[in-house]
Amino acid sequence: QQPVQSPQAVILREGEDAVINCSSSKALYSVHWYRQKHGEAPVFLMILLKGGEQKGHEKISASFNEKKQQSSLYLTASQLSYSGTYFCGKANNAGNMLTFGGGTRLMVKP
């Protein structure tokens, strides 16, 4: 079953912050975040493997609450280059099969 992402779309001004949420109705063993720019393939951002784990990539960080089966992606002081569609993925319990949420379209304007 696919994870559910919210919001579906976000429009920001450069320098503003955003949060993208990902939740699952079933157990989340790990959470994977990817970004896809228009016309390109998804690109890996980070994996969170343990409950409570937080990771960062540039000014993008994420948290994982295993109990609540949720993850959030935090984009701080957004840049134009952050524009794209962000996907969260959940792995099966073996950790080797990834299904993605519907994506969140992020647009950063000057």
Partner 1 sequence: DAGVIQSPRHEVTEMGQEVTLRCKLISGHNSLFWYRQTMMRGLELLIYFNNNVPIDDSGMPEDRFSAKMPNASFSTLKIQPSEPRDSAVYFCASMTGSVGKLFFGSGTQLSVL
List, in sequence order, every residue forming a beta bridge with 12; answer none if it has no partner. Answer: 108
Tell me the site size for partner 1, rule CB under 8 A: 23
Tell the smallest beta-carbon distance from residue 16 to partner 1 (Å): 26
Site for partner 1 in 77-96 (CB under 8 A): 87, 91, 94-96
Q: Could you say whether residue 32 binds partner 1 (CB under 8 A)?
A: yes
Q: Could you say whether residue 41 binds partner 1 (CB under 8 A)?
A: yes
C-alpha distances out from residue 22 to 13, 30, 34, 40, Å: 23, 12, 12, 22
Distance CA 93, CA 62 (A): 21
Distance CA 109, CA 101 (A): 25
Span near partner 1 by CB under 8 A; candidates 19-27, 39-47, 62-70, 74-82: 39-47
> Which residue in the set 10, 22, 34, 60 belongs to the binding site for partner 1 (CB under 8 A)?
34
C-alpha distances out from residue 26 to 44, 56, 57, Å: 23, 25, 27
Residues forming the site for partner 1 (CB under 8 A)? 2, 30, 32, 34, 40-44, 47, 49, 87, 91, 94-103
